[in-house]
């Protein structure tokens, strides 16, 4: 039993250490490939955004289709290279999440759904147009660890950071900012959930502000 109690923490510690190198790297390599391939296809192909411009979330549908096409192309290409190298990883992940949410709202989200069961039918990978949001949802889930935890040890970001200590905090201010920032993209897909996030984030920010005032 003593040997087991000693071995388990030792193995866990080493897995944690290896995970700092390998886990983010795996996500970065796979996502870099996927987004670069998508951006390269746009760069070499013809602009088809004009045919779906009216499905873009506001205010993007008010912009010229050519501008949206160029923005999507270069955000995917540059974002993919940044993920590959692990440079500006958090910002790149945030931008690519935004691109993916817009693509989901414009192309992959079910055009008409009246219930959660109807929405769930769109959780698929098909070529049938709207109602196939499984793949972009998986991409978002893979980008979130890079947004919150960074590129890991095998990255330019880690090289530039060196051994600087980072003050990690998870408090009402952080959660409130996250909720407010996420409310916009979420509302493009689920307006009710987006409004709930906005109200929750505002409440948390007010709580953080009042707590800071009382602490002074």
Q: Which segments of the chain have a pLDDT < 70?
A: 1-11, 14-15, 17, 114, 128-131, 163-170, 215-216
State pLDDT tens for residues 47-81: 998 888 888 888 888 999 899 999 999 999 999 99
pLDDT score, position 163: 55
pLDDT score, position 14: 63
pLDDT score, position 42: 94
pLDDT score, position 44: 94
Q: Where are the domains of the chain?
A: 2-168, 169-216
> Three-state SS string across the chain, please?
CHHHHHHHHHHHHHHHHHHHHHHHHHHHHHHHHHHHHHHHHHHHCCCCHHHCHHHCCCCHHHCCHHHHHHHHHHHHHHHHHHHHHCCCHHHHHHHHHHHHHHHHHHHHCCCCCCCHHHHHCCCCCCCCCCCCCHHHHHHHHHHHHHHHHCCCCCCHHHHHHCCCCCCCCCCHHHHHHHHHHHHHHHHHHCHHHHHHHHHHHHHHHHHHHHHHHHHC
pLDDT score, position 43: 94
pTM of the predicted model, to two decimals? 0.80
pLDDT score, position 205: 86
pLDDT score, position 109: 81
């Amino acid at each position: 039993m003593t040997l087991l109690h000693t071995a388990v923490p030792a193995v866990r510690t080493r897995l944690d250490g290896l995970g700092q190198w390998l886990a983010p790297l795996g996500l970065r390599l796979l996502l870099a490939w996927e987004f670069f391939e998508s951006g390269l296809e746009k760069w070499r192909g013809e602009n088809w955004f004009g045919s779906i411009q009216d499905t873009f979330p506001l205010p993007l549908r008010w912009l010229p289709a050519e501008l949206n096409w160029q923005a999507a192309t270069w955000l995917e290409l540059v974002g993919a290279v940044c993920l590959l190298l692990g440079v500006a990883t958090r910002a790149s992940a945030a931008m690519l999440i935004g691109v993916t949410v817009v693509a989901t709202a414009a192309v992959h989200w079910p055009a008409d759904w009246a219930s959660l069961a109807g929405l769930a039918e769109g959780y698929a990978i098909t070529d049938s147009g709207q109602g196939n949001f499984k793949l972009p949802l998986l991409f978002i889930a893979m980008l979130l660890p890079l947004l919150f935890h960074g590129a890991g040890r095998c990255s330019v970001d880690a090289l530039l950071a060196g051994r600087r200590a980072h003050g990690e905090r998870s408090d009402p201010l952080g959660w409130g900012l996250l909720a407010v920032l996420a409310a916009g993209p979420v509302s493009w897909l689920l307006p009710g959930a987006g409004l709930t996030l906005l109200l929750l984030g505002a409440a948390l920010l007010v709580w953080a502000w009042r707590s800071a005032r009382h602490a002074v």
